[in-house]
Amino acid sequence: MLVPHQELPAADAAQPMEVVAQTEPVSTAENQPPEDPQTSRFTWTIENFTRINGKKHYSDSFVVGGFKWRVLIFPKGNNVDHFSMYLDVADSANLPYGWSRYAQFSLAIVNQIHPKYTVRKDTQHQFNARESDWGFTSFMPLSELYDPSRGYLVNDTVVVEAEVAVRRMVDYWTYDSKKETGYVGLKNQGATCYMNSLLQTLYHIPYFRKAVYHMPTTENDMPSGSIPLALQSLFYKLQYSDNSVATKELTKSFGWDTYDSFMQHDVQELNRVLCEKLEDKMKGTVVEGTIEQLFEGHHINYIECINVDYKSNRKESFYDLQLDVKGCRDVYASFDKYVEVERLEGDNKYHAEQYGLQDAKKGVLFLDFPPVLQLQLKRFEYDYMRDTMVKINDRYEFPLQLDLDRDDGKYLAPDADRSIRNLYTLHSVLVHSGGVHGGHYYAFIRPTLSDQWYKFDDERVTKEDIKKALEEQYGGEEELPQVNPGFNNTPFKFTKYSNAYMLVYIRESDKDKIMCNVDEKDIAEHLRIRLKKEQEEKEHKKKEKAEAHLYTIIKVARDEDLKEQIGKNIYFDLVDHEKVRSFRIQKQLPFTSFKEEVAKEYGIPVQFQRFWLWAKRQNHTYRPNRPLGPHEESQSVGQLREVSNKAHNAELKLFLEVETGLDLRPIRPPEKSKEDILLFFKLYNPEKEELCFVGRLFVKALGKPSEILTKLNEMAGFAPNEEIELYEEIKFEPNVMCEHIDKKLTFRSSQV
């Protein structure tokens, strides 16, 4: 895992990128200047390696881009059974406050016996005071490193290489994709960037987007359970949002709701899953057949006997074509290989039914190509010699315009329709950066097929030139400029590990139809309403969050809340403050102005309101503790919250006492002396096993429960002389505990 040696973050771009042999420093920085970055290679020969004392070991410092660097290793691993290695800012302790620098780099353990098995891993990082080193905690297994037969440890010597490119830094946080490019990115869920690059590519095929919008969905559908609605929602937000868009609803809709789900698939499989599901959902609708019309082509698998008149043909459809990269210099060479004729002879003769075994020709020819041609480049292959998957980083060219009618239509079957001109223009280039064990994905797209290319890299979208989108994604090797021109230096050659793995071409004759306008009238009304409402709520929450420091939340509980909750939501204690009326009040507002707002809300004149502060007791219950005094009510809401709230959270909890006369209209609250205690009463019916709130009373501290029995019976709806028992709630956890109250003791002595 790629990490600073102190901590272990897990991020998509932070997966180990294992590449064998020489590699080029990472070339995926945003908005990098056109001039070459300042790049250098540092070689560290570590002698007496097994005798190194200490957990970690630093190299000498070296300078790249005017900055001092060094390599940090953990010879026995950084608390793992792997060799650990990092690039470190050598002078971080002496740099000014707030320093940062950005570098792309690779670290390698050289195989001194078989150089092609050199282990090299690449990454990029913005170094700062908190993260002054970055690299790989699990660079390679210690068992491999310390095995002399493997070639990494020879004569007790290990050779480490660091290749560092210092890039101009772009402020990630202030960059505004929409403002800079007119487009927004997609958020990365942690392992989803291959999905993000594909979704951006599909979104920027306007005919496809229009068809998705026209799929029938209803306001009762839930995006997490409906692929069409989730995709509609995603596309709508990409079209109209100002910020990057989340993909979680879409991935949930096709059952990929864990990190593992993404690791089990690849972009080609995702493309097929998505298209198949959409194709199925489009059946019987106005957009039925759209997927086939856009992406489906057909070829013929044929076998033709040489010495007898026997042929066998099988027509097959395809939504994408897998093209060989290994051994092919460009796309045309891959198509040549695709239609290459195979001879079936000798031990491999073809059994031609009644003719028996015959010499034959076998091959594939195309009946037709689709308007949108998706080419999957086979960058990953199984290496039988090494018994593992490897990435093919060979140079592989692809043209801006692709002519599949070349050489008199040599790719076409005899009965193919030759009236269709198969001339294609490049729409998008999907790139994989890294090695077979991990990496990063992004896409270069021409949304309108103009000369302007854009790079869609998760949340960020940047303008790029054609060289970035084409030539720099061919792969192969690149030679770095010599450090000391004039000397007979051996030039540094690096394998470019960032290269194209999927190409999307659009047929010129279908361009106008496919690159159509898509506007609000293409979007179902229920979807527009739903998503506009979602956006408004999001903006409202964002505004609330930004202004939160200016406001206090006041939660007001009343008798009505106690009646509503006790016996239903609440059994022990009085009220759940999360379920009472909440007021969002500016801190500088006088509390008297808040009382006026309460008067409007409940129709209770200000002079009849009395507010109590709640106190948390030792048994974790809340009780109204004391009423607010005139001095407190003259303060601002913010001041009152600060004084009353020892926990310093954003909320002020109050109980609103309202007394009523015989006509049930509000009256002034009675004067309260220090001897007055406010008691709340619940009634438990053992026959029905029901609990309810029956009211509250003021009692004198030296009074006795026996003096209020008649009043309590009245509150409960009983006859005046009904025998009733009184209990006090003591504690709720670990067990509910209520104690019997002696009616002859005073309230103060019974400690109610």
What gap in Å lies between CA 482 and CA 80, rounded to an integer? 38
Coil, helix or strand for 707? helix
Q: Exposed e or buried b for every residue in 676-690, given b needs 16+ CB within 10 A?
A: eebbbbbbeeeeeee
What gap in Å lies between CA 427 and CA 658, rounded to an integer? 70
What gap in Å lies between CA 240 and CA 535, rounded to an integer? 10
What gap in Å lies between CA 317 and CA 603, rounded to an integer? 72
Cα separations in angstroms, 632 against 591, 592, 605, 637, 643: 8, 10, 19, 9, 9
Going by DSSP bridges, is the β-strand pair 372-378/321-324 parallel, antiparallel, or unpaired?
parallel
Cα dihedral 241→244→245→251 (10° resolution): 160
Q: Do 298 and 315 contact (CB within 8 A), yes or no?
A: yes
Three-class secondary structure assignment of 343-403: EECHHHCEECHHHCEECEEEEEEEEECCCEEEEEEECEEEECCCCEEEECCCCCECCCEEE
Q: Does the active-site annotation cover 193?
A: yes
Q: What radius of gyration do the chain's Cα atoms show?
A: 37
What gap in Å lies between CA 374 and CA 91, rounded to an integer? 49
Of these residues, 193, 275, 305, 328, which one is catalytic? 193
Give CA angle at 156 (153, 160), nearest 5°: 55
**Which of 127, 256, 131, 124 is CA-nearest to residue 190?**
256
Q: Does the active-site annotation cover 516?
A: no
Number of C-alpha atoms within 13 angstroms, CB side, residue 317?
8
What gap in Å lies between CA 504 and CA 197, rounded to an integer? 12
Q: Do 240 and 530 contact (CB within 8 A), yes or no?
A: no
Cα separations in angstroms, 174 against 131, 168, 171: 20, 15, 6
Coil, helix or strand for 329? coil
Cα separations in angstroms, 434 against 25, 117, 192: 11, 16, 15
List residues bridging with 322 in a β-sheet.
376
**What share of residues in the chain are helix, strand, coil (percent, to 5)?**
30, 35, 40
What gap in Å lies between CA 623 and CA 632, rounded to an integer? 19
Of these residues, 204, 299, 432, 440, which one is catalytic? 440
Residues with Cβ within 8 Å of 415's Cβ and at least 6 positions away in sequence, in order, are: 367
Task: Give the residue numbers annotated as catalytic, written as ranges.
Answer: 193, 440
